[in-house]
Structure 1
């Protein structure tokens, strides 16, 4: 009798242990599914968690003149731009399907520095032997999207992409559009996206302009191209951003920069032929074309001050002012 009771207790104990292990395994599977396989809870270990600046730097470091760009077809340009519009309207599934048809990916990433979540739209051919060079877009997922920062000449205008990342991080509600190749990577000027309408970059910027989003476009110049100036601030060929331009120039001056104000005097690099600025003008939309000297872009502290100055305008746009 006692032997039977001992066997029953032993069997029951084994069954309880098995049940406990099964429950723990189920919980682990659920956790793994919900976190993409990550089990650590720190921000830096979450699925899709990246240092946005480092990720962009790693990507753009592969750019170079003479290679890495293929002109997109009209259907490709319009398809990516339409997908961005769908994402802005909250139709992520449709956007993802359309992007996949154009060989783009859509994923959510969490920036370790700002702590904010962004939708990342990226060209799948980035890692290929012959990349197309059609660019990336980052959209703030946690806030209403009110403005854009555009980087048409990454690497070519050295660290202009890092200025763009800094501006995106500094103000909620932004959209960062980065060209996907060196400006001299294509045949002729085919990859110079600031001066062409037949690019994915321009199609996306045009979609944002049609939706009434103001934008700031970041450029860079060699120090001897505008002697005596750290920054050239312009509204391109339009005037809708004139008040924002004045505020930006004042903010830059307050950070210790010498600014050439293209609406007040003749400046080099005024960006009047910039096609994104031209479209903004037709939409009567604020557009700022900002050129930073190499000495500003190449120094982390000075670059941070420049980003903070631009942030005074993007914060104003985010408030709807």
Structure 2
């Protein structure tokens, strides 16, 4: 169900004051020394110029590292993952546009994710670079945990494709996923996703890259579209046997009397044990839960494409809808995340699929 949320102005990343000051000082010193050397002896100009280039490159690397723009494996420090994702999704709107990916593109992104999970980071990075995606490592300041971030470079340009992001916990083998198909449209579901990712090791966060109403028709509604990067990545994870939980939001009057609607979509019966664990954890925290495997509930997710893909692989899939009053109240949201983490903690302890490595 759709829910409105306030839009925050996008704030592009800035280099730190120390980095800018260091760069400026290096540049001025190098240029001054080069000029003096050239006046005294023109023959040393070439050597001085080489020294200048080396120093300026060093300064650029300092800025790049301190601004969190490292595209290699060196982790950046002090990044609040929730703020990073909130700043990213703040620009989403129904009029921001969306480009439908070609089959080759969506499959290539999914294969790159698979390579990363298999420990082939360099190969994954090369494939992603050819697709205009960045692969970098960030360190979450709230947990100290390192994550690989796969991000569409076009999202910083004038015409974003809206193909989304993937975050992979590097502290443990990948064992489960949390999926956010409707960020902003289902207000604050992306924040719930971050909370779930932080709560248990071995998680993979799959985040849609556009508002569900962006683009033409329902092209950007990734929960109900098979031919998207989001669907391809989730299918890759399901093929590896990773259980997944997909988080949605509904307006309070869409299911009066309920705080949460929990279902397994079209997934196999094996999903029900985990669904019952989640429902019990929610009820233990005083949430009223509609259990779709017990009674008829609205918004059961029967037409969800990721649920269908999971069912085809006999992989566990949970479809969870949270009322707006839960998502937009920080205390209530924290309690909801704690319930979700009861399930993900169990998933984190399971033997990972042979192909899913850290």
Q: Is the shorter-chain TM-score for this pair beyond 0.5, marking a shared fold?
A: yes
SS at match of 1:125: helix
Residue 179 (1) aligns with residue 201 (2): no
User: Which residue of 1 is the match for residue 190 of structure 2?
Assistant: 161
Is 1:65 aligned with 2:94? yes
The one of 232, 243, 248 equivalent to 1:214 is 243
Could you say which residue in structure 2 is the equivalent of 1:279? Answer: 309
Tell me the CA shift for residue 48 of structure 1.
4.4
Match of 2:108 in 1: 79
Q: Specify the alignment match of 1:10 in structure 2.
A: none
Unaligned 5+ residue runs, structure 1?
1-28, 39-45
Q: Which runs of 4+ in 1 moved over 4 A?
A: none
Determine whether 1:259 maps to 2:289: yes
- Aligned mates of 1:300, 1:114 — CA distance in 2: 18
State the TM-score, normalized to the length of structure 2: 0.77
Secondary structure of the structure 2 residue equivalent to 1:233: strand
Q: Pick from 314, 325, 330 the counterpart of residue 295 of structure 1.
A: 325
Tell me if 1:141 matches 2:133: no
Specify the alignment match of 1:108 in structure 2.
137
Task: Say whether 1:248 aligns with 2:278.
Answer: yes
Q: 1:286 to 1:37 in 2, by over 3 A?
A: closer
What is the distance in 1 between the residues matched to 2:143 and 2:196?
A: 11
Q: Counterpart of 1:227?
A: 256
TM-score scaled by length of structure 1: 0.86
Whether 1:92 and 2:143 are equivalent positions in the alignment is no
The alpha-carbon deviation at position 37 of structure 1 amounts to: 5.4
Root-mean-square deviation (CA), in Å?
Answer: 1.8
Q: Computing the radius of gyration over CA atoms, which structure comes out larger, 1 or 2?
A: 1
The CA deviation at 1:233 is 0.2
CA–CA separation in structure 1 for the residues paired with 2:234 and 2:132: 19
Q: CA deviation at 1:168?
A: 0.0
Assess, with a 3 A threshold, how the Cα gap between structure 1 residues 255 and 101 changes in structure 2: closer, same or farther. same
**Deviation at residue 75 of structure 1 after TM alignment:** 1.1
Q: Deviations over 1:51-101 (max 9, x none)?
A: 010111111010000323110111110110010000001110010000011
Secondary structure in structure 2 of the residue aligned to 1:36: helix
- The alpha carbon displacement at 1:125 in A equals 0.7
Match among 336, 339, 346 for residue 309 of structure 1: 339
Deviations 1:155-174 (CA, angstroms, capped at 9, x unpaired): 00000000000000000110
Structure 1 37/277 Cα, relative in aligned 2: closer, same or farther at 3 Å? closer
Q: Distance in 1 between matches of 2:121 and 2:276?
A: 38
Partner of 1:191: 220
Aligned residues of 1:240 and 1:287 also touching (Cα < 8 A): no
Q: How many residues align?
A: 285
Indicate the residue corresponding to 2:9 in structure 1: none
Unaligned stretches of 5+ in structure 2? 1-57, 68-74, 352-358
